[in-house]
Amino acid sequence: MERTTTASAADFLDRALVEEAAKKSGLLWVRPAGQPHARPLWHAWHDGAVVVVGDGAEQPLHGLAAGTPAALTLRSKDKGGRLVAFSAAVTAVAPGTPAWDGAVEELKGKRLNAPDTDTIGDRWARESRILRLEPTGPLAPHPDGSLAAAPVPTPVTTRKPIPAGLPKLLFKKKRRS
């Protein structure tokens, strides 16, 4: 009995961490199942899940589809580093439903520089998709090493070091007359 209580408390805390991180960060990294790389998407948190809008004139969703699981990574808003990672079930939100209306209201507030703020929900219903990414299972463990990719090899190099006197020229104080 004690074990169940501890597990449910840990699940509750994990869920709270995911919710708080999703509400504070405007960007997350999504890697649909079968895709080699994660891609950044802007999002909103609504009704216990991350919601994203894409395709049409909005951000491309690159392989993210209803019924396909995805791995999500949320970043820290202040430092920008990896905060929490988890898997999510992806479902489509149907236009005209209460879930659609709620998701549109949340996303509309996060959409910067929309050309049609008043009618954005109608445009999204015509040409875009709203997907709901609901957290499933436990949080993913933090990696032991860096996940940074190695730089691409290139023949371009710096020709020579900067001249020793250059910083003095750039940062010298102007004389008062």
For residues 92 and 163, which has the higher predicted lDDT (pLDDT)?
92
In this prediction, residue 87 has a pLDDT band, given cuts at 50, 70 and 90, of very high
pLDDT at 90 over 90: yes
Q: What is the pLDDT of residues 34-64, one digit of tens each?
A: 888 888 999 999 999 999 999 888 899 988 9
What pLDDT score does 32 carry? 92
Per-residue pLDDT, 177: 58
Distance (Å, whole) CA 69 – CA 88: 6
DSSP H or E stretch at residue 85 = strand 82-92
**87 vs 72: CA distance, rounded Å:** 6
Mean local confidence (pLDDT), 142-146 = 76
Confidence bin at 173 (pLDDT 50/70/90) = low
Token couple for 30? 């999504």
- pLDDT 10s digits, 100-124: 999 999 998 888 888 887 888 899 9
The pair of three-digit structure tokens given for residue 36, joined into one six-digit string = 């080699």
Query: pLDDT over 70 for what percent of the chain?
Result: 92
pTM of the model: 0.76
pLDDT band at residue 164 under the 50/70/90 scheme? confident
Measured in degrees and rounded to the nearest 5, phi and psi for residue 39 equal -125, 145
Q: Is the pLDDT of residue 2 over 50?
A: no
Domains and CATH numbers, the chain: 29-140 (2.30.110.10)
